[in-house]
Amino acid sequence: MTAADAPATMDLVTNHQEVPPTGVRTTEPLTQYLQRAHQRVRAFDRRHPLPWDLSFTGFWVTAALIDYTGGGWRSITHNPGAPGPFLLTLSLGLSVPLLRRRTRPAAVLLAMAPFALVNAWSGTALQAALLQLVVVYHIALRLPLRHLWWAAALVLTPVVVSTARYGEGEWSQQIGSQLTSVLVAVLIGVTVRTRQNYTEALEDRARRLETERDQQARLAAAAERARIAREMHDIIGHNLSVITGLADGGRYAAGKSPERAAQALDAIATTSRQALGELRRLLDVLRDEGTAAHPADLTPQPALTDLDRLIDGVRNAGLPVHTTVEGRATLPPGRQLTVYRVVQEALTNTLKHAGPDATSEISLVYGDKGAVTVTVTDTGALGTSAPADGRGLPGMRERTALYGGTLEAGPRPRPEQGWRVRLHLPEESPQ
């Protein structure tokens, strides 16, 4: 077993260290240095496996040849007179196949098995036979565990043959020793394999979490863009519609009643300032500055208390509005904003599309636990108050969906004329 066969440890924890003062030399921990060196070796081995396989195989071929030429095998052999070519063939047959141990471990063990069997039968007892344990380790590391049964039997067979033929030592001692060696090789292989699988699972999880994080960021950015678009549409669209209505009324009144024209100009100025103030507050919220104003000053969220001012602005623009309220308004800020924006959008559409003689009626019915029903109707020509820009209704439906409500918008049933928008927000669900 080699360092190249062990798994690379993934560094999943980012260590945030303080930057040392200028001129101070820091000493890198030895474990980090060794870890990076190991990762570089592993990366090179993945890209270029042949150099390491050649080096590993060459080392054990050399060791097997040294055992043969140095005569070390004679101290345990039963056949000291074995010819040199025979010993050389056995040494190479038990070591050279290691070159393919990582890619074809089963085939390598099968190729080494005849040489190991001949080695045991002839009594030469070359130590190169122990290299089968390296192949057993790779079988446990890379192949399904069911292969271990026949691999263990294949490795134990030469021991059985040698013990039966030469009768040296007890059967239990000889087979037990070899079986222990096989079990150690298997356990090391299974342990390394388990660690590799665990590391791969962590890497896969880290990749999936990174992908999910990017997706969440994109979804959050898209939702924020949609929210900003709704706010901009509601703020600018409504106020420009009011300004347009005031300007048209002032133009007609300029010749007959200069005082009414001056009032229209004052109302235009007031509405413009209000629109500019709301727009500035919205933009302030989007600014990423640490020295921002108080959060309350940066929140462009009108409440139900602002409905009277909204309705007064619409009346000044020339649209008569009648309001009826039932119940007590006890809505949280988010629901208040939804009600306000829906009423604002409905009145804006009436101003833009219902015609000069239209009137509007608003009905607010408050229930318990945040429930509310809002109905906005107008008396414009049939279908003329429908939103034409394609943004108003989708914006209202998106706001309504946030609270599980329903929104109905369409022509009033015959014989009545005009348009009706009905919003219903149900009771708040318990947390």
- What structural domains does the chain harbor? 3-8+27-168 (no CATH), 319-431 (3.30.565.10)
- Would you say 3 and 41 are in contact if contact means Cβ atoms under 8 Å apart? yes
Cα distances from 180 to residues 6, 11, 152, 159, in angstroms, run 22, 34, 11, 13
pLDDT digits (tens, 9 = 90+) for 302-311: 788 888 888 8
pLDDT digits (tens, 9 = 90+) for 251-287: 666 667 676 666 667 677 777 777 776 677 666 666 6
State how far the Cα of 401 lies from the Cα of 337, in Å rounded to an integer: 13
Percent of the chain at pLDDT > 70 equals 76
pLDDT digits (tens, 9 = 90+) for 127-162: 889 999 999 999 999 999 899 999 999 999 998 888
Under DSSP, is residue 365 helix (H, G, I), strand (E, B) or coil?
strand
- Would you say 253 and 260 are in contact if contact means Cβ atoms under 8 Å apart? yes
- Would you say 188 and 133 are in contact if contact means Cβ atoms under 8 Å apart? no
CA atoms within 13 A on the CB side of 174: 18
Q: Give yes or no for residue 7 having a pLDDT over 60.
A: no
State how far the Cα of 239 lies from the Cα of 302, in Å rounded to an integer: 14
What sign results for the dihedral spanned by CA atoms 291, 293, 295, 300?
negative
Quote the pLDDT of residue 281: 67
CA angle 147, 102, 154 (to 5 degrees): 35
Quote the pLDDT of residue 170: 67
Mean pLDDT of 194-214: 89
Quote the pLDDT of residue 340: 87
More confident residue, 114 or 262: 114
Q: Give yes or no for residue 294 having a pLDDT over 50.
A: no
How much of the chain is in helix, strand and coil states, percent to nearest 5? Answer: 65, 10, 30
Q: pTM for the complete prediction?
A: 0.51
Identify the CA nearest to 319 among candidates 263, 380, 364.
Answer: 380
- Would you say 379 and 358 are in contact if contact means Cβ atoms under 8 Å apart? yes
Cα distance from N-terminal residue to C-terminal residue, the chain: 58
Amino acid at 292: A
pLDDT digits (tens, 9 = 90+) for 68-113: 787 777 777 788 888 889 989 999 999 999 999 999 999 999 999 9
- Would you say 91 and 128 are in contact if contact means Cβ atoms under 8 Å apart? yes
